[in-house]
Amino acid sequence: MFSTLRKLCCFKREPKTPLGFCDGPSNREGSLACCDCSHEDKYGHSYDPDNKFHEAVCMGKIKVVLHLLSKKKFSINDTDKGKRTALHFACFYGHLHLVQFLLYNDCMINALDDQKATPLMKAVQSWETKIASVLLDNGANPNCKDSNGETALHQAVYVDSPDIAASLLEYGADIEETTKDGFTPLLLALRERKLLTAEYLIKHGANIYARDDYQRTTLMYAVQWDSEVIVEQLLEKGIDHSLKDSFGWSALQYAVAGKRKVKDIILDYEDSLLLSQHSIFTGNLHADFYSSGYGFRSESL
């Protein structure tokens, strides 16, 4: 009953823009939401151990860890039902001293759990910048993909951490790798409204011409969130503001229909392009005029 009422509440209004892309205020959560339905934090779920060894790791109790290992009851690379290793837990719970201990004892640095997540991904999900750097320095692969086709860089986007993104790129992360849904890190950052990371990725050479399944551009997503900084950044990089999505809408149309402030930036940009084209045209006209012999020449005076 509740879900039915919720659906009615969500969809009672006819969208003003295709799929409600730019309907409502620009600060709403979720890219395709048409209402105020809440969205669970992607990494807000529990990450609980199911044995004493991993429990000790989660709690950062290195003495207990050493004791259990000395008794030969567990080994460094033991996995639980979810194929998670001690390193997964140490990274997720931010225990740098245990991460260093496990790495020193030859743990599997790129071990995959049942979701194909690596320890590096778990460090990223928990905003553990230092641990992520230590893993990368010890040979962690930044381009492994989980079951959703996401790399650690995509997951740095979800936590909106330019610092972690910088470390990953320094160690060879692919800035254009796509998820199963075809999202590059930049496009994902814009879809998820992770604007700090989006700005960083644009500055560091991410492809600004990436599009989603509906052929929406990065500029359209920047318009959706009414981000003046990113709209200006994309226009300065030379993005074609006239491109249209599969619904035939341009970024300016979304800005106008959605009552976004950035429409003025795009309109000013259009005006500057027209003035530039006019100057080039009149300059060529003058050049043609003089080259044809009709111009005044000082010698003839």
Q: What is the CATH number of the domain that holds 237?
A: 1.25.40.20
Q: Helix, strand, or coil here: 216?
A: coil
For residue 70, tell me if it sits in a domain.
Answer: no
The C-alpha atoms of residue 262 and residue 222 are separated, in whole angstroms, by 9
Q: Please report how the helices 162-170 and 195-203 are oriented relative to each other, as an axis angle in degrees rounded to 10.
A: 30
Over its length of 301 residues, how does the chain's per-residue pLDDT go in tens digits? Answer: 444 444 434 445 667 999 999 998 887 554 443 333 333 456 656 789 999 999 999 999 999 999 999 999 899 999 999 999 999 999 999 999 999 999 999 999 999 999 999 999 999 999 999 999 999 999 999 999 999 999 999 999 999 999 999 999 999 999 999 999 999 999 999 999 999 999 999 999 999 999 999 999 999 999 999 999 999 999 999 999 999 999 999 999 999 999 999 999 999 999 998 887 766 655 554 555 455 554 544 444 4
Phi and psi for 244 in degrees, rounded to 5? -120, 150
Per-residue pLDDT, 219: 99
Asked if residue 40 belongs to a domain, the reply is no
Q: d(Cα 167, Cα 227) in Å, to the nearest integer?
A: 25
Report the distance separating Cα 165 and Cα 195, nearest Å.
13
Residue-range definition of the domain harbouring residue 233: 215-276
- Integer Cα distance of 281 and 23 in angstroms: 39
Residues 6+ apart with CB under 8 A from 293: none
Assigned domain for 107 exists: no
Residue 128 lies in a domain: no
Give the C-alpha separation, 231 to 239, whole Å.
10
Identity at 55, one-letter amino acid code: E
Looking at the domain assignment, is residue 41 inside a domain? Answer: no
Q: What is the pTM of this model?
A: 0.83
Residue 219 forms part of a structural domain: yes
The structure tokens listed for 258 are: 């959605």
- Measured distance CA(29)–CA(32) in Å, rounded: 9
End-to-end CA distance of the chain: 93
Q: Let me know if residue 169 belongs to a domain.
A: no
Number of domains comprising the chain: 1
284 belongs to a structural domain: no
Spatial distance between the Cα atoms of 173 and 165, rounded to a whole number of angstroms: 9
Residues 78 and 52: beta-carbon distance below 8 Å:
no
